[in-house]
Amino acid sequence: MKSPKTLARDSDLLSIESYSLVSENLEDYLRLDLNENLAGCSPKVMTAIRNATVQDVSTYPSYSLVSKLITEVERIDQGQILITAGIDDGIRLVFEAFLSPGDKLLLVVPTFSMYRAYAEIRGVELVSVPFSSDFSYPFENVLETVSKEKPKILVVVNPNKPTGTFLSKTELEALVQQVRILSPRTLIVVDEAYREFAQIDLGFLAKDYENVLLMRTFSKSYGLAGLRIGYITANAVIVDFLRKLSPPFPVSKLACVAVQAAISDEEF
């Protein structure tokens, strides 16, 4: 097997958008900027895909089975989950639902670049607070900014990309409680793309707080980035509203088959 190369210069690949401009086969590279799972997916996933039926390809998907499995594993209610095509799709959907031109979005930077990209598309005013010099979360600065700017959405990427730092369960709940007091109409969006690496369970926030929305993906630790599947969990009112704006079939049936197999192999 040919050893993959790494990209030597920042100018080789500056963003996801620039991939289409690169003529070389990107599969020849280790794409470190994408944080792909180099171990791949569980062998059970590949077996499940190979055993897929004609109907799994020729008919439209139903998300009831995969949603039920996720809710059982995560101990959330059926009305609290919405399947999405990864977190990117979740960001787009949430921004379309809750942000209008001129609204304010609060980000602690540096962080995942797609939040800025979607904010610019929506004509949203971006309010940035820098991480502390040691990349710890700037609590006081964030709370001061929330009090002053009253952002429509506060994004918390936890663990954060690219710093790798994260808030504990206690710290994040304290942040949620303080934001509720300072700006009750602010929605806190928690991006948990790398949550398995922090080994903390924040699912209770979506159940206990009406101003919290969690976004999750099977791209990273489960190695399913190529299948584009994740989910949003929040209170039932928010999820129901987002469901009305979501396309009817955002995720393929094969992706659902793969997730069911992946969840059954937590040891892998």
> Can you say how many angstroms the Cα of residue 147 is from the centroid of all Cα atoms in its chain?
26
Write the single-letter amino acid at 238: I
pLDDT by 10s per residue, the chain, length 268: 455 554 444 434 444 444 454 445 667 777 777 889 999 999 999 999 999 999 999 999 999 999 999 999 999 998 999 999 999 999 999 999 999 999 999 999 999 999 999 999 999 999 999 999 999 999 999 999 999 999 999 999 999 999 999 999 999 999 999 999 999 999 999 999 999 999 999 999 999 999 999 999 999 999 999 999 999 999 999 999 999 999 999 999 999 999 999 999 999 9
Query: What's the CA gap between 80 and 209, in Å, rounded?
Result: 12
- Quote the CA–CA distance of 159 and 167 in Å, as a whole number: 7
How many whole angstroms separate alpha carbon 199 and alpha carbon 230?
18
Give pLDDT, residue 4. Answer: 54
Three-state SS string over 11-26 comes to HHCCCHHHHHHCCCCH
Structural domain of residue 21, as residue ranges? Answer: 5-34
Which pLDDT tens digit goes with each residue over 180-210?
999 999 999 999 999 999 999 999 999 999 9
Domain contains 175: yes
Task: Please check whether residues 19 and 148 belong to one and the same domain.
Answer: no
Assigned domain for 59 exists: yes
Let me know if residue 131 belongs to a domain.
yes
Percentage of residues in the chain having pLDDT higher than 70: 90
Q: Write the CATH number for 236.
A: 3.40.640.10
CA count, 13 A, side-chain hemisphere, 70? 25
Pairing of strands 29-30, 187-191: unpaired
- Distance of alpha carbon 207 from its chain centroid, rounded? 18
Is 50 contained in some domain? Answer: yes
Dihedral (CA of 137, 139, 140, 144) sign = positive
Determine, yes or no, domain membership for 83: yes
Residues 29 and 54 in one domain: no
Instruction: Please name the helix (run of DSSP H) or strand (run of DSSP E) that holds residue 51, with its range, or none.
Output: none
CA 240 to chain centre: 19
* Strand partners for 187: 153
Q: Which residue has the tokens 């979005």?
A: 105
Residue 171, token pair as written in the block: 């710290």
